[in-house]
Amino acid sequence: MLSVAHQQPATELDDATLRRAMRGDGDATRRMVELYQDRVFALVSRMLSGRGRATIEDIAQDTFLAVFRQLAQFDLRGSAKLSTWILTIAARRAIDELRKQRPVLLAEPDRDRAGESRTDERTQRRELALVIEAALRDLSPELRAAFLLREYHGLEYAAIATALQIDLGTVKSRLARARAGLRERLAEVVTP
């Protein structure tokens, strides 16, 4: 039986382009930004939820400028993916930003109203988003980064531990606590 091969969009920069980017080639550098910008924005915007778009764009840009500065250090022969390395830099930048500013209070989901509006799928998704935001709001910057890197970007525990300079066991135990907290909150709004 013949299978139909679907061409998947590339998730990592190919080696040749990466080498060119490491030498400062403009086209290769642009390709790198275009390939990873969605993931950087996803991480930074969730890390800095409530900070405002301008701040998020600044941190995302700052991330790429740091990537350019440090790109020569990226180990082509190492096991780490370029995306993991870039997300690590983005996470650290976002953590720095969180430490600089006072936490921004997010709106608590209005549970009564949420219960009334579950027939509206869009409203329910918004409610879910608020619940998740609220659950992550209470986490420390490092733990928030750990959760996002794991659950939204699929990083391995060891990579997260290295990225955030946290002991591997600590990453696992703290993520377990974070998941438990999230489950409790989700249970209040998700229809069984």
Partner 1 sequence: MNDDELNESERTALDAWAPLTPPAGFADRVLAAREAAPVPRRSKWPFVAAGIAAAAAAAVLFLALRDPSHAASGELVDAPARTTKALGDRAVAVAEPNATLTWRIDDDGDAVIDQREGDVFYRVDRGGPFVVHTPAGDVHVTGTCFRIEVKLMNKTKQLLLSGTIGAAVATGVVVTVYEGHVIADSKKGNRAEIAAGNRATMSPDGRTIVASADTPDRSGEAMVAFDERTATREQLIARANVQQNEITKLRTRISELENTSGRRDHHDNGAEEGRAWYDPSPERLASWVGECHVRSDEPGFDRWQPSTSLGKNERGLEPNELAQVNAALSEVQQQWKALVKSLYVEATGDATGAETLSLEAMRGEIEEKGSRDEHNLILQRIAMERAGLAQPPADLSKASPFERLFRAYTKLGDQSEQALAKRLGPERAKAIRGDGWGSRSDWSGCPDKGE
The residue ranges that bind partner 1 (CB under 8 A) are 19, 23-24, 26, 29-30, 33-34, 37-38, 41-43, 45-46, 53, 56-57, 60-61, 64-66, 68-70, 72-73, 92, 95-96, 99, 124-126, 128-129, 132-133, 140, 142, 151-152, 165-167, 170, 172-176, 179-180, 182-183, 186, 190
DSSP code of 102? P
Sign of CA dihedral 165, 183, 191, 110: negative
Q: Can you list the alpha helix ranges (DSSP code H) found in the chain?
A: 15-22, 26-47, 53-70, 82-100, 111-116, 121-137, 141-151, 157-164, 168-189
Both tokens of 114, joined, read 């949420």
Please state the closest distance from residue 116 (CB atom) to partner 1, in A: 18
Q: How far apart are CA 11 and CA 158, in angstroms?
A: 21
Whole-number minimum distance, CB 128 to partner 1, in Å?
A: 4
Supply the minimum distance, in Å, between the C-beta of residue 1 and partner 1: 28
Q: Which is nearer to partner 1, 2 or 192 (CB)?
A: 192
Residue 164 tokens read as: 């955030």
Q: Which is nearer to partner 1, 12 or 24 (CB)?
A: 24
Minimum distance, C-beta of residue 6 to partner 1, in the bound complex (Å): 21
